[in-house]
Amino acid sequence: MIRVLVSPAPIDLADEMALAGQDGALATFTGMVRADDGVTELMLEHYPGATERALTVLAEEAVLRWSLSGVTIVHRVGPMRLGDRIVFVAASGAHRAEALDACAFLIDRLKTDAPFWKRERVGDHHRWVEPRASDDVSAEKWR
């Protein structure tokens, strides 16, 4: 089962874990807004339809590469405060190695392949977040 959701609603970890799968191994990643360089708010924008499709393609690729029973990708958009959950990724399968590898693949590739635009608030100013070279390196190892 593949489940992809892009929404401004807060991510409820208990609900997402319950929906993610029960097949022996469940690997998850949760990303949160952090206070780097005085950031007080993060705004994520996306292109509806295209974003969900890009995330679904990543989930489908993970299912093809590893023996998985389920993949969940939940990503928030809109304004978020420090500590808010931005993304929840889960890979479920019979064996931990496949679930762990698939989860790492999904978050590494999501950072470079999904059409999101990030803007940070620092004090009275906003700034766009540029892609990081380290994200490209992490994603490249899966290609």
Q: Per-residue pLDDT tens for 4-62? A: 999 999 999 999 998 887 788 999 999 999 888 889 999 999 999 999 999 999 999 99
Distance of alpha carbon 7 from alpha carbon 48, whole angstroms: 10
Kindly indicate the confidence band of residue 64, based on its pLDDT and cuts at 50, 70 and 90: very high
Distance of alpha carbon 10 from alpha carbon 121, whole angstroms: 19
Taking residues 73-98, what's their average pLDDT? 96
Supply the pTM of this predicted model.
Answer: 0.93
Q: Given a cut of 80, is residue 77 above it in pLDDT? A: yes
Which range has the worst mean pLDDT, 33-42, 71-80, 132-141? 132-141
Q: Which CATH superfamily is domain 2-140 in?
A: Molybdopterin biosynthesis MoaE subunit (3.90.1170.40)
Kindly indicate the confidence band of residue 131, based on its pLDDT and cuts at 50, 70 and 90: confident
Other C-beta atoms within 10 Å of 100: how many? Answer: 17
Beta bridge partners of 64: none
Q: Is 42 helix (H, G, I), strand (E, B) or coil?
A: strand
Number of continuous H segments (helices) and E segments (strands) in the chain:
4, 8
Distance of alpha carbon 64 from alpha carbon 3, whole angstroms: 15
